[in-house]
Chains A and B, each alone.
Chain A
Amino acid sequence: MKLRKITDGVYEVSILNATEEELEEINETMGLALSIEEMKKMQEFFREMGREPTDLEIHAIAQGWSEHCSYKSSKPVLRKYIFGIPSEHAMIVMQDDAGVVEFDDEYAYVFKIESHNHPSAVEPYGGAATGVGGIIRDVLNMGAKPMALVDPLFFAPPNYDGKLNPGIKHPRFLLNGVVAGIRDYGNRVGIPTVAGMTYFHEDYVNNILVNAGCLGVVRKDKIVRSMVDAPGIKLVMVGGRTGRDGIHGVNFASKVLSEKSEEEKQAVQLGNPILKEPLIHVVLEANDMGIVYGMKDLGGGGLGSVVGEMCHAGGVGAEVHLDRVLLKEPNMAPWEIWVSESQERMLLAVKEENLPALEKLCKKWDVEMSVIGESISERRLRIYWHGEKILDMPLEFITAGVEYDRPFKIKKVERVQELPPEPKYHNVFLRILSDFNVASKEWIIRQYDHEVQGRTVIKPMQGIIGFESHGDASIIKPVHSSWKGIAITTVANPHIAKLDPYMGALYTVDEAVRNLVAVGARPSSLSDGLNFGNPEREEIMGEFVESCRGLGDAARVLGTPYVSGNVSFYNEAFGKNIPPTVVLMAVGIIDDIRAAVSSDFKRDGNHIYLVGSTAPDMGGSVYYRVLGAKSTVVPEVNINKTKELSEKLLKAMSRGLVRACHDISHGGLAVALAEMSMGGDVGAEIDVGAMQHMRSDFKLFSESPTRWICEVSPEHGEEFASLTGAVRIGTVSGDSLRIRDGARWLFNVSVEKMRTVWRGALRAHLG
């Protein structure tokens, strides 16, 4: 690699006459993670310019073209299926860092989900904490006050006893570290973690997934765009200083994990919530004062992507003086400053006359700021270093990036289902209750402050104080003077998606709807977190395409758009890929939180109804996993039915007919009943004889979609059944769960016993 020093820390790199091997060497040495075609495209560009690039220019391009920043593999697919689903209420969709949707006449809600998988695999505590920090900034930069966090997590089982590949940490260590990281960051910044999920599947052993979502609320007239659309606006960095930490995080996220990842210390950061907390105050107070012209957070890609994208979006250019950036350590090279992904930083666009007001705010909160440049009318990027121009390129070239129509292959799985003999119900039920995907997540949930800010009116754990069990969605009440609420849930079902990614996606959307409707909320919009393996493999790309097709088909029928999202590829390690993991953060609206419904049984003597129909499709079910039985026949989702039934149920709820409601998911009917019993500390007598005719075990443990259990007081039973077509399956009563199929008793387990098993299973392997 041939270099020529231009000034301190800046080199000219000879690429004009480089051979293919030399380009490859430059790519490797500089850690660019580009393909050879991309290297050639860059070479072509500078040949046209008639000069050699600086190292800064090369890094800037590599960053702009990375998978993480450019979505080069996913864009064409997303465009085809996910983007542009019509909606009345969506305001800003898939444009800025987070989606914006109307809440009421005055307010909008803002949200997004994002992955932080690779950093968390390497350093669980810091990776998870900075994942939370990053997603908060995405919401904050729309001018919104962050009000809720969610944390869908995916690990191998905590009792995993197989061999671990070199450099791979045990799932227990990872789980403990991740939970601690989310807890310490979320709690310290004072944003409640109101929902999440904790999912176990052996295929995450080499590659855990840590997704994080944030929701905020903003007055419509205070929404800030991530763009600058006029020249002469000052660009101000606010918050943390810039350091060598986090260099190349973006390229890291676009690379396959390997043994060497352990050494990539530079991509690891711990995050500083005590810098973020006052930064949030500064940003929100500045926005209230009306002095924020535009704003974007510094996330993946650092200063480089932010300046580029902000100005590009507004049709202007920028001039930046890198020597004005405040540094953590001296002697950083300009390219390092440009690509560093140090945490807790925001870029504000501010008119010159408003700078003093911003300075005053920063002083009050003890937050640092620095004016690093300004927008210019020419659509170019110019960077200076102590007065010397060291980058001069059209913005278009850096930000537009590349796109690939990657080849894909859709694998068809033959539909087969073993029929094991009928089990001992009592034993198998308790084994299901202690399955890690069913067992209580209380140990995790309570380490997160889910009530700070005082808005959480339906909590993640529901029921009698001290006896609470799982709920389906949480509700926050964001505006003091209004009864309107926002319901939030997260869902994923990798076991089903692995067998059939298309149906898995439909199932996931269906479960999102189920969870929101269960608390009485109308589904409003979605954020999609798409976690996949290596897209350069055709089968993986096939899983991605099929998942997106499913997501699109489902959401179009429901009228719930994807307003933000995130794609994480290259979740591959040691040649193994994760199962296709579509995570949804779903938001619903409830007009009056006083009508919200929780999952715990309320009163002895009330009637129990099953809404929806059950099919004997056991593929992906907890029951078959517990038995070790094989089925590839996944539950079939009819999304029109999802829509129809959920509307009926919401109607019944709005009439006040429903005392408790829980959707049926992992573990089937029996688990849903158990959770409702434990939360209310009361038993139930159930007869599944009224359900469609099939094996009793399938009635109890099938995970068919679009089903809920509802508790209804006797006098409302008839009205409820005629509205929803539900069948009555039993009565709230006693202190045990007693289930029969017609004349035949299946099991009888005390609430106390269920609670001990359900609470203890996962707990025994944690902290």
Chain B
Amino acid sequence: MKVAILQMEGTNCEEESYMAFKEIGAEPEYLHLNLLRPGMLEDYDMLFIPGGFSSGDYVRAGAIFAARLKAKAWNELRKFVEAEKPVMGVCNGFQVLIELGLLPGTDGISDVPEAALATNESNRFECRWVHLKKERDSIFSANVPDRIVLPVAHAEGRFIASPRVIEEMEAQRQVVFRYIAPDGSKPDYPWNPNGSINDIAAVVNSYGNVFGIMPHPERAFFWYQHPDWTRIPRNRGDGYYVFESLMRIIEAKNR
């Protein structure tokens, strides 16, 4: 499975992501936005938008990345999504997918954003680990246990959308992960680290092939990346299982 990891100035989680794909047997390749030419996307089986601060997140997190990607390859991107090839965005990548209108994608693809990842309620960038509850299976979550921990590191992650969009998302069961308190109860700050509506941490579009997640699975790929590994032994990092879920597609491809 050939995975395009999109890059531009300020994306900076691409190396961890590259390694994660490599480890599960995919063929990741960096693709710089400046080198993206017509027809190039077609060659890939999956598109991945990594975390970071594309263009400094000036204007708004992910906005410049999204606008530039849209200007360069909107039609191809639409085709990619409509062909139901997987598209995944982590953190800044999630922000880009929202700004592109590819997520929440309650009704496929939207030409204008239908949601926002707004400034955290705490008004601060925060780097911390959170507890997550898996709400559904998808090609991105099939192998993930029901409860995991992952790190977040963002200043703009508060998921907002109109009541109508939220309702549709919930009705179509598009929420893949929610923040949760360690005892399983409804999370207050900091368990919900940004104030997202309905504690939304990750969503998938209505087709099931575009996935955005604020926490960083690629930073929790190995057990020793967990903050509490000196307390709790694990064989793998919890983020590994997100990538492992994608292996099914790889295997299908290889068959």
Q: Do chains A and B touch in the complex (CB under 8 A)?
A: yes
**0/1 interface trace, chain B 113-125, chain A, CB 8 Å (1 if under):** 0000000000111
B126 interface residue, CB < 8 Å from A? yes
Which residues does chain A contribute within 8 Å of B149, judged by CB atoms?
465
A740 interface residue, CB < 8 Å from B? no
Shortest CB distance B180–A (Å): 12
B248 interface residue, CB < 8 Å from A? no
Q: Are B52 and A190 in contact (CB under 8 A)?
A: yes
Stretch binding the partner chain, chosen from A48-56, A526-534, A589-597:
A589-597
Shortest CB distance B58–A (Å): 8
A596 to B224, CA, bound (A): 10
Q: Are A364 and B231 in contact (CB under 8 A)?
A: no
Which residues does chain B contribute within 8 Å of A616, judged by CB atoms?
none
A364 to B33, CA, bound (A): 9
**0/1 interface trace, chain A 454-493, chain B, CB 8 Å (1 if under):** 1011110111111010000000010010000000000000
A448 interface residue, CB < 8 Å from B? yes
Q: Which of B216, B225, B227 has the most CB of A within 10 A?
A: B227
A463 to B127, CA, bound (A): 15
Which residues does chain B contribute within 8 Å of A461, judged by CB atoms?
227
Which residues does chain B contribute within 8 Å of A464, judged by CB atoms?
228, 231
B135 interface residue, CB < 8 Å from A? no
Stretch binding the partner chain, chosen from B7-15, B98-106, B161-169:
B7-15
Closest to A597 in B: B230
- With A453-B16, A454-B219 known as contacts, the answer to whether A188 contacts B191 (CB < 8 A) is no
B19 interface residue, CB < 8 Å from A? yes
Closest to B227 in A: A459
Closest to B9 in A: A278
Shortest CB distance B121–A (Å): 14
B53 interface residue, CB < 8 Å from A? yes
CB-CB contacts below 8 Å: A581-638 with B:
593-594, 596-598, 600, 602
Q: Are A477 and B224 in contact (CB under 8 A)?
A: yes
A188 to B219, CA, bound (A): 17
Q: Are A449 and B127 in contact (CB under 8 A)?
A: yes
Q: Are A447 and B191 in contact (CB under 8 A)?
A: no
B32 interface residue, CB < 8 Å from A? yes
Shortest CB distance B15–A (Å): 7
B56 interface residue, CB < 8 Å from A? yes
Q: Are B125 and A449 in contact (CB under 8 A)?
A: yes
Shortest CB distance A100–B (Å): 22
Closest to A480 in B: B19
Q: Which of B19, B34, B216, B230 has the most CB of A within 10 A?
A: B230
Chain A, interface size: which category? 35 or more
Q: Are A188 and B56 in contact (CB under 8 A)?
A: yes
B131 interface residue, CB < 8 Å from A? yes
- Which of A188, A273, A364 contacts B32, CB < 8 Å? A364
- With A364-B32, A465-B131, A594-B224 known as contacts, the answer to whether A190 contacts B13 (CB < 8 A) is yes
- With A447-B124, A450-B127, A454-B221 known as contacts, the answer to whether A274 contacts B227 (CB < 8 A) is no
**0/1 interface trace, chain A 663-680, chain B, CB 8 Å (1 if under):** 000000000000000001
B145 interface residue, CB < 8 Å from A? no
Which residues does chain B contribute within 8 Å of A719, judged by CB atoms?
none
- Which of B35, B127, B229 contacts A451, CB < 8 Å? B127
Q: Are B129 and A465 in contact (CB under 8 A)?
A: yes
Q: Are A448 and B230 in contact (CB under 8 A)?
A: no
Closest to B33 in A: A366
Q: Are A452 and B12 in contact (CB under 8 A)?
A: yes
CB-CB contacts below 8 Å: A163-189 with B:
183, 187-189
A735 interface residue, CB < 8 Å from B? no
A446 interface residue, CB < 8 Å from B? yes
B184 interface residue, CB < 8 Å from A? no
Q: Are A187 and B125 in contact (CB under 8 A)?
A: yes
- With A278-B9, A477-B224 known as contacts, the answer to whether A366 contacts B34 (CB < 8 A) is yes
- With A365-B34, A447-B125, A465-B131 known as contacts, the answer to whether A190 contacts B19 (CB < 8 A) is no
Which residues does chain A contribute within 8 Å of B128, judged by CB atoms?
446, 466
CB-CB contacts below 8 Å: A403-458 with B:
446-454, 456-458
B108 interface residue, CB < 8 Å from A? no
Shortest CB distance B31–A (Å): 11
A277 interface residue, CB < 8 Å from B? yes
A767 interface residue, CB < 8 Å from B? yes
Q: Are A465 and B228 in contact (CB under 8 A)?
A: yes
**0/1 interface trace, chain B 32-44, chain A, CB 8 Å (1 if under):** 1011000000000
B55 interface residue, CB < 8 Å from A? yes
Which residues does chain B contribute within 8 Å of A188, judged by CB atoms?
10, 12, 53, 56-57
Q: Are A452 and B230 in contact (CB under 8 A)?
A: no
Q: Are A365 and B230 in contact (CB under 8 A)?
A: no
B25 interface residue, CB < 8 Å from A? no
Shortest CB distance B147–A (Å): 12
CB-CB contacts below 8 Å: A189-243 with B:
189-190
A278 to B35, CA, bound (A): 14
- Which of A183, A454, A600 contacts B16, CB < 8 Å? A454
Which residues does chain A contribute within 8 Å of B53, judged by CB atoms?
187-188, 190, 273-274, 277
Which residues does chain B contribute within 8 Å of A278, judged by CB atoms?
9
Q: Which of B10, B16, B131, B182 has the most CB of A within 10 A?
A: B10
Shortest CB distance A195–B (Å): 13
Closest to B191 in A: A466
Q: Are B127 and A448 in contact (CB under 8 A)?
A: yes
Q: Are B12 and A277 in contact (CB under 8 A)?
A: yes
Which residues does chain A contribute within 8 Å of B228, judged by CB atoms?
463-465
Which residues does chain A contribute within 8 Å of B224, judged by CB atoms?
457, 477, 593-594
A457 to B9, CA, bound (A): 27
Which residues does chain B contribute within 8 Å of A458, judged by CB atoms?
230
Shortest CB distance B232–A (Å): 9
A589 to B120, CA, bound (A): 37
Q: Are B9 and A277 in contact (CB under 8 A)?
A: yes
B244 interface residue, CB < 8 Å from A? no
Q: Are A451 and B153 in contact (CB under 8 A)?
A: yes
A228 to B41, CA, bound (A): 43
Shortest CB distance B221–A (Å): 7
A273 to B190, CA, bound (A): 28
Shortest CB distance A550–B (Å): 34
Which residues does chain A contribute within 8 Å of B9, judged by CB atoms?
274-275, 277-278, 365-366
- With A365-B34, A452-B153, A465-B227 known as contacts, the answer to whether A189 contacts B125 (CB < 8 A) is no
B151 interface residue, CB < 8 Å from A? yes
Q: List 19 A-B contacts (CB under 8 A).
A: A187-B125, A188-B10, A188-B12, A190-B52, A274-B9, A274-B56, A274-B58, A278-B9, A363-B34, A365-B9, A366-B9, A447-B127, A449-B127, A452-B13, A458-B230, A462-B230, A463-B231, A464-B231, A465-B182
Q: Which residues of A contact B (CB under 8 A)?
A: 183, 187-190, 273-275, 277-278, 363-366, 446-454, 456-459, 461-466, 468, 477, 480, 593-594, 596-598, 600, 602, 660, 680, 767
List the 9 closest A-B pairs by CB distance, nearest first: A190-B12, A454-B16, A274-B56, A188-B53, A598-B230, A278-B9, A449-B153, A465-B129, A457-B224
Q: Which residues of B contact A (CB under 8 A)?
A: 9-10, 12-13, 15-16, 19, 32, 34-35, 51-53, 55-58, 123-129, 131, 149, 151, 153, 182, 190-191, 216, 218-219, 221, 224-225, 227-231
- 6 new A-B contacts at CB < 8 Å, known A365-B34, A446-B126, A452-B219: A277-B12, A451-B219, A454-B16, A456-B225, A464-B231, A767-B123
